[in-house]
Amino acid sequence: MSAAPRWHWPEYAIEAWALGMFMVSAGLVTALVELPDFGVPALIANGDVRRLLIGVAMGVTAVALIYSPWGKRSGAHMNPAVTLTFLALGKVRPADALGYIGAQFFGGVAGAALVLALLGERFASPPVAFALTQPTHGPRIAFALEWVISCVLMAVVLAVSSRPRLARYTGLAAGALVATFIAIEAPYSGMSMNPARSFASAAVAGQWMHLWIYFVAPPLGMLTAAFVHAKRGAARAGCAKLVHSRDVRCIHCGHEPRHDAERLPLGGLLHGND
């Protein structure tokens, strides 16, 4: 009889917290920048510039979550498509993938619900509209673009994380792409790349139309990137974390902190990213 799967509840809770905080940031930033109540549209009339500001804010949010102490512990996937891709690559145990994905959906909905409680109709009404991801140029275009941007994101994550000299910058690369895609691609598909993120907005809004796009296209795009990465014989990513730190345990590759600072002179200087 096989052993029962080991569950890692702290890491799952962190995944819920991370996507929840991302949703809170998305809702609050969008409301702040787009609602006339706060004066930004009067100050910045150009909608493209306002969207760029939102993109930068969300990119910074992603980077802050990834490099936070908690983000370093779980790996800061914040996205079922990311978790499924690392599962396909053999970097995440099935039980942990299940825990991560369930937590991501829960955290996303909780974060969106919190914004609704804080802002009320300001969050529900256009132009914020629950921060929904919706196709504005038809579902086919939205599906294709979600596939493309998800493929690009995962391709960059795998390429950067598989190079020891660059691995510590994986989170920065991911955040930069989030900012860029919001600024450029969001008018076409809403820029999701994340089934749990789209589900969270849809759940609090009660609007389910076209949700299938964001459940199918992002995982397919990221799995495509992983397939190409493997077929090219590229160096394999160290583990399923976006940022792997020596002083934080890793449930994916089994790393445990060695507490070098207690064993070696000036050991505190030895800690850093793998």
Q: With a threshold of 0.75, does the pTM exceed it?
A: yes
In single-letter form, the type of residue at position 129 comes to A
Return the domain boundaries, the chain: 9-270
Alpha-carbon span 254 to 78, nearest angstrom: 20
pLDDT at site 267: 38
State which CATH number among 1.20.1080.10, 1.10.3720.10, 3.40.250.10, 3.30.450.270 fits the domain covering 9-270.
1.20.1080.10
Q: pLDDT means per 10 residues in the chain (274 residues)?
A: 76 98 98 95 96 98 98 97 96 97 98 98 96 96 98 96 92 98 97 98 97 98 94 72 90 81 39 40
